Structure 1
Amino acid sequence: MLRQRRADHGYRQRRILEGPQQPEQVIDGRPVLAFCGNDYLGLAAHPAVVAAFKAGANRYGVGAGAAHLVNGHTRAHHRLEEALAAFTGRDRALLFSTGYMANLGVAQALLRRGDRVLQDRLNHASLIDAARISGARLQRYRHGDVDDLSRLLAQPAPQDTLVSTDGVFSMDGDIAPLAALADRSRQADAWFMVDDAHGLGVLGATGAGTLEALELDQTQVPLLMGTLGKALGTAGAFVAGSDDLIETLIQSARTYIYTTAMPAAVAEATLAALEVVHQEPERREYLHRLIRQFRTGAAELGLPLMDSTTPIQPLQVGHTLAATTLSEALLAQGLLVPAIRPPTVPPNTARLRVTLSAAHTPDQVDHLLTVLGRLYRSDS
């Protein structure tokens, strides 16, 4: 298997980062300008967030020491759950250690054999794996295709149905047609779940995510999953929804019950990050100016960007070798933009996944565009 992966130019290797997550990094001992992280608001190394983490460690120690249902659920965890519920406009929120564990926990707690899960074909791997471990029947509708979802919903279902989708798709950067999906799900009496890992903090009037941007409430989207390790700059995840939903997860979600709670210091840091989001809306506004700058410059250079208004700006390349060659050429110029290859994306859709952060400067974005334009033309 490893030999074949190398032959297909799909072999993955880890890089070693020295220092904090920020645009100017030292990777594998060399300085680079990175356009590949998910720290969309530049909060991972924000002084207030770091200070809150240190204060939390001083107060609570560095490990929770137990699961939430034993004695690992601290005041910091509880305050964060309340803050996340208020932030997203939901009744309650429940913390999980990772977004992957949150998605697995929801599916395992709510679904049984005989149920079914309907998912967008480009959903994140954690949603796909969640469906598989639940024992329910998994069916996938065409990407963003509401009519194809309706076709599947019209088929007889012996028991319950869960429709789940990314809010912002992690490899394409586009936004799901959530209002229409919510409407069709409600008409079919199906649960509707949105994984808003890449929308939270970035979209919406207050940064509460894709659902806020589209004005979708808890009735329309009963299950919301959000991660803390992207725009909020820390680690972990949460599920938000009704009181009954959260109580069901507390009682039944194995990935919540049978794992140690996240360190309380991370909860304190996330509370500080939420405060920055509230107090500094200009970070989000500045990020969207950078997105417009990049897309305008790319259009002028004839770069084939995919259709995205989010910080995820994929440059479609096609063949895996072409994408890896372009990525390596950028790295030789001091720019870190990894190639995304199958099986992460469908065959013949390899791409460079450019991601932008409020920590980038306009000059850095211009530099990326200049080098990309030169290398892409020479490669073509």
Structure 2
Amino acid sequence: MAFEYLAEQLAQQKLTHRFRQRQCIAKQQEANLFCNDKEYLNFSSNDYLGLNQHPDINHALQEGVSKFGVSSCSSSLVTGFSYAHNVLENTLCEWLNKPKCLLFNSGFSANHGLLSALACEQTQFWLDKLSHASLIDGALSGKAKVKRFLHNNYQQLEQLLLKKSLANNLIVSEGVFSMDGDQADINALQKIAQKHQAWLYLDDAHSLGIIGEKGQGSVSINPHVDIVMATFGKAVATSGAFIACDETLHDYLINFSRHYIYSTAMSPAIAWATNKSVEIIQKDNWRREKIAELSRLFAKSLNDNIEMIPTSSSIHAIIVGDEKKSLDIAEKLKAKGIWLTAIRPPTVPNGTSRLRVTICANHNKQDIKYLAENINKAIN
């Protein structure tokens, strides 16, 4: 019988406690999530700045629909590149102090689209070991040489670069790592890239909006990062993504990135709403300050026996280790009205299953104390 391996692999997923299922969420409102007629405190959202359902962004979306419609109706190279897209790209360029920006439908398509466009025999990619799946898949999609260095181990990266055999080298990392919440050393990476005449590419999906006085992400630490990708579906609270770069790479992607050329452009109404969100992010520094304050409270409130990876971001990874144990703890928390997803391999390395806590600007001190109290009870 054809495709018998499908059922076999699903059975294996269940046996190893790695089986995944979707759950239909009725709505998300501020720090709460509603599922199966129950209300939960949501600590798994990537709405870091608490901007989802912001009235000004909602109004901008409605205005965008009235002005441009919901759909862009075609790819950007046919008739899909609208005034709304142009305005957003210019806003992003000014915000990040980059010459050009290009919009994509998702962070996955942006990462994969750029790396696959560069993945030729003349190029070598150097990826942090904990790079996102979209970066790994994009790097491996063509004929480029690919080498991964140990997570944030820049001494090893330098040693590897000394042995490089090609002139075109791209160092790839994340500003804030999605599952650990720790940061790359942007200045160290930029110096290494400059020393070895390489380009530096950063996935800033979890940095944008959070890092920097105006939420500019990694470029607020070092403005000389060559290429930045970030998504709108997290702190920006809309959807889509962008790549910020120089004019030559911008034009190259328009001509050679299949993900850009052959995809219907992102909704112009979403672009219009995103422009409003970026405006709010730049001026509402209190949102970033609140995340930092609540994060300090959370770390202080956990028992000493709980292993949490050090972070200065919204992401707090509590390492459990075993898949079944992480699922059991998540269920105990759910019974207490806390929605906290257990993250298991292959999303994270074997033996590092975890609770991925995200602290957002719409949480309060009482929420954090309640979470810490119940985690302390669940992990013993």
Structure 2 length as normaliser, TM-score? 0.95
What is the aligned partner in structure 1 of residue 252 from structure 2?
Answer: 248
1:327 corresponds to 2:330? yes
SS in 1 for 2:28: coil
Measure how far apart 1:8 and its partner are. Answer: 0.3
Aligned ranges 1:299-338 → 2 under 5 Å:
300=303, 302-338=305-341
Cα RMSD of the aligned pairs, angstroms, is 1.2
1:191 corresponds to 2:205? no
Between 1:155-164 and 1:28-37, the stretch displaced more is 155-164
SS in 2 for 1:314: strand
Measure how far apart 1:115 and its partner are. Answer: 2.1
What is the aligned partner in structure 1 of residue 127 from structure 2?
Answer: 119
CA distance in 2, matches of 1:5, 1:28: 25
Contact 1:80 1:271 in 2 (8 A): yes
1:70 corresponds to 2:78? yes
Measure how far apart 1:113 and its partner are. Answer: 2.3
SS in 2 for 1:198: coil
Measure how far apart 1:263 and its partner are. Answer: 0.6
Measure how far apart 1:301 and its partner are. Answer: 5.2
CA distance in 2, matches of 1:253, 1:339: 35
CA distance in 1, matches of 2:137, 2:199: 18
Aligned ranges 1:45-64 → 2 under 5 Å:
45-64=53-72
Measure how far apart 1:185 and its partner are. Answer: 1.5
1:305 corresponds to which letter in structure 2?
Answer: M
SS in 1 for 2:297: helix
CA distance in 2, matches of 1:223, 1:111: 16
Match for residue 288 of structure 1 among 292, 298, 321:
292
What is the aligned partner in structure 1 of residue 264 from structure 2?
Answer: 260
Match for residue 276 of structure 1 among 275, 280, 303:
280
CA distance in 1, matches of 2:15, 2:119: 40
After superposition, the C-alpha distances for 1:159-181 in whole angstroms (9 at most, x for unaligned) are 42111001100000000122111
What is the aligned partner in structure 2 of residue 211 from structure 1?
Answer: 219
SS in 2 for 1:229: coil
Between 1:86-95 and 1:3-12, the stretch displaced more is 86-95
1:44 corresponds to 2:52? yes
2:286 corresponds to which letter in structure 1?
Answer: E
1:101 corresponds to 2:109? yes
Match for residue 137 of structure 2 among 129, 143, 163:
129
CA distance in 2, matches of 1:243, 1:117: 21
What is the aligned partner in structure 1 of residue 146 from structure 2?
Answer: 138
Measure how far apart 1:45 and its partner are. Answer: 1.2
After superposition, the C-alpha distances for 1:76-112 in whole angstroms (9 at most, x for unaligned) are 1000000011111111111111011111111122230
Match for residue 344 of structure 1 among 347, 364, 378:
347
What is the aligned partner in structure 2 of residue 27 from structure 1?
Answer: 35
CA distance in 2, matches of 1:61, 1:135: 40
What is the aligned partner in structure 2 of residue 91 from structure 1?
Answer: 99
1:154 corresponds to 2:158? no
CA distance in 1, matches of 2:225, 2:32: 38
Contact 2:214 2:283 in 1 (8 A): no
Contact 1:111 1:160 in 2 (8 A): no
Closer, same or farther: CA 33–4 of 1 in aligned 2, 3 Å: same
Which structure 2 residue ranges, 5 or more long, are not aligned? 1-8
CA distance in 2, matches of 1:228, 1:368: 27
Measure how far apart 1:38 and its partner are. Answer: 0.5
Contact 1:21 1:39 in 2 (8 A): no
2:241 corresponds to which letter in structure 1?
Answer: A
After superposition, the C-alpha distances for 1:145-198 in whole angstroms (9 at most, x for unaligned) are 001101111113134211100110000000012211111122111111000000
What is the aligned partner in structure 2 of residue 371 from structure 1?
Answer: 374
Measure how far apart 1:10 and its partner are. Answer: 0.4
Contact 2:119 2:143 in 1 (8 A): yes
CA distance in 1, matches of 2:84, 2:150: 41
Measure how far apart 1:321 and its partner are. Answer: 1.0
After superposition, the C-alpha distances for 1:304-329 in whole angstroms (9 at most, x for unaligned) are 21111110001110111111110111
CA distance in 2, matches of 1:249, 1:169: 25
Between 1:110-119 and 1:342-351, the stretch displaced more is 110-119
Contact 1:102 1:225 in 2 (8 A): yes
SS in 2 for 1:134: coil
SS in 2 for 1:33: strand
Contact 2:60 2:272 in 1 (8 A): yes
1:267 corresponds to which letter in structure 2?
Answer: A
Contact 1:54 1:265 in 2 (8 A): yes
CA distance in 2, matches of 1:283, 1:114: 44
CA distance in 2, matches of 1:135, 1:101: 19
Measure how far apart 1:226 and its partner are. Answer: 1.0
CA distance in 1, matches of 2:54, 2:305: 35
Measure how far apart 1:28 and its partner are. Answer: 3.1
1:11 corresponds to 2:26? no
1:252 corresponds to which letter in structure 2?
Answer: F
Between 1:153-162 and 1:226-235, the stretch displaced more is 153-162
Measure how far apart 1:29 and its partner are. Answer: 3.0
Measure how far apart 1:114 and its partner are. Answer: 4.4
CA distance in 1, matches of 2:304, 2:198: 45
1:68 corresponds to which letter in structure 2?
Answer: S
Q: How many residues matched? A: 372
